[in-house]
Amino acid sequence: MRTKSDINIKFCARIRGVRQETNGMIETRFTREFNVRHPIVQGGMQWVGRAELVAPVADAGALGFLTALTQPTPEALVKEIARCRELTDQEFGVNLTILPAISPPPYAEYRAAIIESGIRTVETAGFSPAEHMPAFKAAGIKVIHKCTSVRHAVKAESLGVDAVSIDGFECAGHPGEDDVPGLVLIAAAARRVSVPIVASGGIADARGLIAALALGADAVNMGTRFLCTVEAPVHENVKRKIVEANERDTTLIFRTLHNTARVATNTVSREVVEILRAGGEFDDVRDLVAGVRGREVYETGDMERGLWTVGQSQALIDDIPTVAELVARIVAEAEDLITTRLSPLVSAEGR
């Protein structure tokens, strides 16, 4: 039987600005400037971005991010950073997601916890990182701002971020309201942005990495793929569901509220869409969308308990590897794609 990963994509592109070495390394501006072995990022994931996952990502030579707001308090984040350091001697970062909230978390205190813990790299996401930039820069921290549009990437660059991570419409979580998929978004951003670009959304394997590099990105960010690894601290049912699922098994919620999120299709996400489509307001779905119910999905494996975040890239996922296996496989297959599939496409006259 053909598995989802048997489907190959033919590339007809030259990879520019990428030095590819023979010992399983692809070196880009991103790997040099962020001092990581591989151009692969594991972005922030609410309830998932904990030390158990981030430490093996760091050990594998990729850039992993603990998710600040998964920790209930800034003090708990300090402890989580220390716990992660006990599990790895490699560098890792912290994601600070800035979202609209009726009673926002104490962002300044989380920021202080990150700085005081000596973290060298931060992934900001959601709203503009403007208010956090002076403190991070004063502490010598590199900031990667994750956004969903070219205009926000340009804005982030003008604020002094060190890289932008750009989520295409395929992504898990918040794809924004423009509905522009990565194939256009990354290439369009590469025309306007000078700092390194991390392509995010819809990437789960070497084909995605190579495509992203061809589009002008310097690295890739993956959420869904890392969620489906041995070390991801979520119930086995979540991982099995991802392996079974295809590209049509996600649902966009909160469209009418202009705060779109891509989540798994289940009874809860269907009900939320129906209520809002019928003219409902946030208050009408507040209980259904409660974060604690989503957290219970990951903890108990009851896949209908609440909303859980996943992207269209689940269509490309067939297995539950360890993080080390995953990263090594992506790098090896990327090297193979360049040498055995792409290079031969260039005719002798074209060289």
The residues that touch ligand FMN, with contacts defined as CB under 6 A, are 43-46, 48, 67, 95, 97, 125, 146, 167, 170-173, 200-203, 221-225, 227, 309-311, 313
We find the least distance from the C-beta atom of residue 333 to ligand FMN, in angstroms, to be 17
We find the least distance from the C-beta atom of residue 286 to ligand FMN, in angstroms, to be 19
Residue whose CB is nearest to ligand FMN in the complex, by number: 223
- For 192, residues 6+ apart whose C-beta sits below 8 A from its C-beta are 150, 153, 154
Residue 280 vs 321, nearer CB to ligand FMN: 321
Q: How buried is 39 (Cβ within 10 angstroms: 0-12 exposed, 13-18 middle, 19+ buried)?
A: buried
CB of 246 to ligand FMN, least distance (A): 14
CB 190 within 8 A of CB 215: yes
Closer residue to ligand FMN, CB minimum distance, 172 or 206: 172
CB closer to ligand FMN, 280 vs 333:
333
**H helix and E strand count, the chain:** 14, 12
Q: How far is the CB of 306 from ligand FMN (least distance, A)?
A: 12
Within 8 A by CB and 6+ apart from 293, the residues are: 268, 305, 306, 307
Inter-axis angle of helices 74-87 and 107-116, nearest 10:
30
Q: Measuring CA to CA, how many Å separate 205 from each of 220, 290, 294? A: 10, 32, 26
Q: Which is nearer to ligand FMN, 219 or 310 (CB)?
A: 310
Distance CA 181, CA 296 (A): 30
* Nearer to ligand FMN (CB atom), residue 52 or residue 280: 52
Residue closest to 175 by CA, chosen among 194, 197, 202: 202
Of 232, 114, 227, 215, give the one whose Cα is nearest residue 166: 215
Please say which residue, 193 or 297, places its beta carbon nearer to ligand FMN: 297
For the bound state, the minimum distance from the C-beta of residue 350 to ligand FMN, rounded and expressed in Å, comes to 33
* Residue with Cβ nearer ligand FMN (195 or 307): 307
SS3 state of residue 49:
coil
Minimum Å gap between C-beta 27 and ligand FMN is: 22
Minimum Å distance from CB 20 to ligand FMN? 23
User: CA 164 to CA 31: how far, in whole Å?
Assistant: 14
Q: 280 vs 319, which CB is nearer to ligand FMN? A: 319
Cβ at position 296, least distance to ligand FMN in Å: 14
Per the CB < 8 A criterion, the answer to whether 348 and 16 are in contact is: no
User: Which residues, 6 or more positions from 58, have their beta carbon under 8 angstroms from its beta carbon?
Assistant: 64, 84, 88, 90, 91, 92
